[in-house]
Amino acid sequence: MGIKTKYSFVLLLVFTLFFAFQNSNVSAESTKISSEEISEITKHMKKDGISDSDIEKVIQKIKAGKTLDSTKAMQSNEKMFFSNQDILESDNNGLISTLENSEPVTKMIKYDDGSYTKLQVDVLDDIIDNNTINRKIGNLASNGVYKTIKVSGSTPFNKASFKARVYLNTHLGNNFIDKVYQSTVNIFTIGGSYSNENLKITRKYEIRSKGITAKSRLVYDFKSFNDLGAFKVYLKMHTGDKLKDRYGIWVSMTGGTAKYE
């Protein structure tokens, strides 16, 4: 190998190492998280009831530029079931009363890295009383009850909620989603952004004989800080699905792949 060839090779090696070093710096910078973002995540996770040790594990994983298990799980089909017994109660005569003004019914999926998905159904005041319903639509209300509910989903990066009015049939009829309230949509993100939010009922009535639920969903585009995640988020609420002869409400917060019949 001649001197000129050796010199060219050395220059090529130097430039290769230089650009590799530059790229590694860019990668390292992309995993930085500000003290303000750490404070926001800590505050949000504490409010969700997460321990200090799990919060620290989540922050360390974010600093390392790794995807949280809860984010990975959003591409799976995990969903939580809230039975009629979870959200309603009956007296000795079988008459339905309500649990409104009590604490929301909460269920949580936890992961080894400290991350989580928290789902809630909060029973609120009725918008319409059963006597009025009876006058309007016969004996429908005697077989169930209208409830206004707030559905919420939360992860370390974001939280979303909306309110809906549902009819829960406790006999042989179908549940249905009477209305979803656009003005109640609430989305909160940490160190990221969201856009294109949309709330709608996608199937109003359950078909109980076929095991098909009434369906609603809030969807929005979510992008986390430093490009650690960018995808659509679906907060879904379905009612009427059967599980071991129990009926109630299904809730999920996923990237859109939670399956419902």
Do the domain assignments include residue 260? no
Do the domain assignments include residue 261? no
> Does residue 4 have a pLDDT over 60?
no
Segments forming the whole domain that contains residue 62: 32-254
Can you give the pLDDT at residue 82?
Answer: 76
Beta carbons within 8 Å of 56's beta carbon, 6+ residues apart: 114
Do the domain assignments include residue 127? yes
Identify the H or E element spanning 84.
helix 84-87
If asked whether residues 139 and 200 sit together in one domain, one would say yes
If asked whether residues 100 and 192 sit together in one domain, one would say yes
If asked whether residues 57 and 183 sit together in one domain, one would say yes
Do the domain assignments include residue 61? yes
Can you give the pLDDT at residue 223?
Answer: 82
Which residues are 237's β-sheet partners? 216, 251
Do the domain assignments include residue 181? yes
If asked whether residues 22 and 69 sit together in one domain, one would say no
Angstrom distances, CA of residue 120 to CA of 9, 69, 95, 152, 241:
63, 20, 25, 5, 17
Domains in the chain, number: 2
If asked whether residues 37 and 24 sit together in one domain, one would say no
If asked whether residues 64 and 142 sit together in one domain, one would say yes
DSSP string spanning 172-202? SS--EEEEEEEEEEEEEESSSEEEEEEEEEE
What is the rounded CA–CA span in Å between residue 34 and residue 261? Answer: 43
Q: Region 38-52: what's the mean pLDDT?
A: 94
Q: Region 27-51: what's the mean pLDDT?
A: 81
Q: How confident is the model at residue 37 (pLDDT cuts 50, 70, 90)?
A: confident
> Does residue 20 have a pLDDT over 70?
no
Can you give the pLDDT at residue 76?
Answer: 67
> Does residue 96 have a pLDDT over 70?
no
Q: How confident is the model at residue 43 (pLDDT cuts 50, 70, 90)?
A: very high
Q: Which range has the top average pLDDT, 25-39, 82-96, 205-219?
A: 205-219
If asked whether residues 3 and 65 sit together in one domain, one would say no
Q: Which of 41-50, 171-180, 190-199, 246-255 has the lowest mean pLDDT?
A: 246-255
What is the rounded CA–CA span in Å between residue 218 and residue 202? Answer: 10
Q: Region 74-96: what's the mean pLDDT?
A: 60
Can you give the pLDDT at residue 255?
Answer: 77
Do the domain assignments include residue 248? yes
Can you give the pLDDT at residue 53?
Answer: 96
Do the domain assignments include residue 116? yes
If asked whether residues 176 and 158 sit together in one domain, one would say yes
Q: Region 6-26: what's the mean pLDDT?
A: 38
For 53, list phi and psi in degrees, rounded to 5: -65, -40
Can you give the pLDDT at residue 31?
Answer: 55
Beta carbons within 8 Å of 143's beta carbon, 6+ residues apart: 169, 170, 171, 172, 173
If asked whether residues 38 and 24 sit together in one domain, one would say no
If asked whether residues 15 and 109 sit together in one domain, one would say no
The tokens of 68 are what? 């949280």
If asked whether residues 25 and 112 sit together in one domain, one would say no
What is the rounded CA–CA span in Å between residue 224 and residue 9? Answer: 42
- On average, the pLDDT of the chain sits at 75
If asked whether residues 68 and 141 sit together in one domain, one would say yes
Can you give the pLDDT at residue 240?
Answer: 82
Is 229:62 a contact under the CB 8 Å cutoff?
A: no
Task: Report strand pairing: 158-169 vs 230-243.
Answer: unpaired
Q: pTM here?
A: 0.75
> Does residue 105 have a pLDDT over 70?
yes
Percent of the chain with pLDDT over 70: 64
Identity of residue 22: Q
Instruction: Tell me the pLDDT tens digit for each residue of 125-155.
Output: 655 444 444 434 434 455 778 888 999 999 9
Do the domain assignments include residue 145? yes
134 or 119: which carries more pLDDT confidence?
119
Instruction: Tell me the pLDDT tens digit for each residue of 208-255.
Output: 888 888 999 999 998 876 665 678 899 999 888 666 556 778 888 887
19 or 38: which carries more pLDDT confidence?
38
Can you give the pLDDT at residue 28?
Answer: 39
